[in-house]
Amino acid sequence: MGKLMGFMEYDRCLPSDRDPLDRIQDWEEIHQELPLEVQLEQAARCMYCGVPFCHSGISIKGTATGCPLGNLIPEWNDLLYRQEWDAAVDRLLKTISFPEFTGRVCPALCEGACVCGIHQPMITIKQNELTLIEHAFETGHMKPRPPEIRTGKRVAVVGSGPAGLAAADRLNRYGHTVTVFERADRIGGLLMYGIPNMKLDKKIIDRRVNLMRAEGVEFVTGAYVGVDQPAEDLLKDYDAVVLCCGSTIPRDLRVPGREGSGVVFAVDYLTASTKHLLESETALPAEMDAKDKHVIIIGGGDTGTDCVGTALRQGCRSVHQMEIMPRPSDDRTEQNPWPEYPRVQKTDYAQEEAIAKYGKDPRSYLVSTREIERDEKGAVRAVVTDDIRWVKDENGRMKPEVVQGTARKWPADLVLIAMGFTGPEGTLIDALGLPRDARANVLADSYRTQREGVFTAGDMHIGQSLVVRAMNEGQEAAAACHAYLSGMKHS
């Protein structure tokens, strides 16, 4: 333990963000850095627990707690405090492929399970992680390290989101020759087009992809396997295939007025915005531009929040976010004890920006959309909602019930549907004849599908989830694939 009783000497401290009214004028990352001496103090707060739940990666009552990747957090916190930078980041990289991604976008399940958090603010694990990896890039410690020996085995990874990149990284480390196929025009999947630039600058993704290229991973964009390229060709040309195509079918909203212009899926909206940012010559479709519009976002979660932040930067006239669930409590309840992830009310970056601009939180809770009104020309003009309450049905399951007399009409020009995803697309799955489970995900046993040599990982395997879980899936699928290629039984 680098600093005995450091958690008693120092208070939790995070770097301040850029001023909300300033940052909505651009698309740059919102976070700033801590001075070095303060950052070291934050590492010194780690208690070096006898039983560090932060890296437990377990499930309690169906809810994940602790780091799914099993990051050895107390160890690299100690090394960071001692300023043993290279040793610290090397310890970090033993368990995680891309800490520069999770250090920016992960909700930090690890911090929710921090033992220090029982009685005082938890350790700044996420910020410490980001500090380590960025220092490693800045000092040149992160340099290409291609494997010394190649196995002669060739592996195709389909999909370049967090699961696909993690699988490719690990398989390459094992010495296999890896090719990543991505149907979009850029590598990164959800990281590239599902998360806006102010949360994850696309230069950070390109930096890592260039490093992987230098280490021997091949990337092919514009490759729609199962459409432009026969899926069976992969089985002929490669010794193994890892499918990491994500859960990409958005959950739709079935209400009157849904069909027609002015109602857009959130993922399409975020993709169009990022494409326009990266390639200014690529025009932003009028339907995807929130400038001077009243914007209604249906759905909470990170995607809804990112839509708020994007609409603000596009110059929307107003923005409201509708959430069908109740507002979380300000503190843990008895039903949500440590070390479960704290299900408490949080004001994320985009809500902070909306409050700064409009003077109020854009979120409304326990609200259900009844109808999308259109004018005589078919343009969206309003969203009609009802307040709801959650009640138990005859089977004891909770269901929403409309509170009569609570109908409201919200001015709207653009409606964004951010209600999550229902599963992976079927094109490639059907082409390979792969069975699905009860939730429409690809059926697999220890990441092995029922086709010989075909593996799956990420959201198409477990359903829509977090970036950190997708990365863990990719790493574990790579281990299963490596065991298969090595002729070993993988458990």
Q: For residue 62, count other CB atoms closer than 10 A to its CB.
A: 5
**pLDDT digits 0-9 by tens, 322-339:** 999 999 999 999 989 999
Question: What does the pLDDT read at residue 69?
Answer: 95
Determine if the pTM surpasses 0.85. Answer: yes
Sequence ranges of the domains in the chain: 6-138, 154-248+422-485, 252-419
- The arrangement of secondary structure in 252-419, i.e. its CATH architecture, is 3-Layer(bba) Sandwich (3.50)
Helix or strand holding residue 156 (H, E): strand 154-158
Q: In the numeric block, which tokens belong to residue 157?
A: 């990874």
Nearest to 467 by CA among 130, 201, 166: 166
Rounded to an integer, the average pLDDT of 456-478 is 97
- Read off the pLDDT of residues 202-225 as tens digits, 9 standing for 90 and up: 999 999 999 999 999 999 999 999
36-44 helix and 125-138 helix, angle to the nearest 10 degrees: 130
Q: What is the pLDDT of residues 29-48, one digit of tens each?
A: 999 999 999 999 999 999 88
pLDDT at 4: 80
**Tens of pLDDT along 86-100?**
999 999 999 999 999
Average pLDDT of the segment spanning 130-158: 97
Which pLDDT score is estimated for 490? 44
According to CATH, what is the number of the domain 6-138?
1.10.1060.10
Name the phi and psi angles at 385, rounded to 5.
-125, 160
Q: How many residues does the chain have?
A: 491
Is the pLDDT confidence value at 489 over 60?
A: no
Per-residue pLDDT band for 62 (boundaries 50, 70, 90) equals confident
What is the per-residue pLDDT for 126? 97
Q: What is the CATH number of domain 154-248+422-485?
A: 3.50.50.60
Host H or E run for residue 128: helix 125-138
300: tokens are 């909470």
pLDDT given at position 491: 42
Tokens of 481: 């694939």
How many of the other CB atoms lie within 10 Å of CB of 362? 24
pLDDT tops 90 at residue 64: no
For residue 131, count other CB atoms closer than 10 A to its CB: 25
Answer for the pair 380, 290: CB distance below 8 angstroms, yes or no: no
Distance CA 276, CA 274 (A): 5
Amino acid at 165: L
d(CA 460, CA 248): 8
Task: Examine the pLDDT at 118 and tell me if it is beyond 80.
Answer: yes
Radius of gyration of the chain from its Cα atoms, rounded to whole angstroms: 23
Confidence of residue 2 (pLDDT cuts 50, 70, 90): low
The alpha-helical segments, DSSP class H, found in 162-265 are: 162-173, 202-214, 231-237
* Calculated CA dihedral for residues 35, 41, 42, 44, nearest 10 degrees: 150
Tell me the per-residue pLDDT of 392-443, one tens digit each, with 9 for 90 and over: 998 889 999 999 999 999 999 999 999 999 999 999 999 999 999 999 999 9
Alpha carbon distance 191, 367 (integer Å): 30
DSSP H/E element including 364? strand 363-365
Mean of the per-residue pLDDT values of the chain = 95
- Cα–Cα nearest to 432, from 422, 442, 423, 440: 442
Q: How confident is the model at residue 25 (pLDDT cuts 50, 70, 90)?
A: very high
> Do 150 and 177 contact (CB within 8 A), yes or no?
yes
466: confidence class by pLDDT, cuts 50, 70, 90: very high
The residue among 163, 135, 210 whose CA lies nearest residue 447 is: 163
Fold match between domain 6-138 and domain 252-419: no
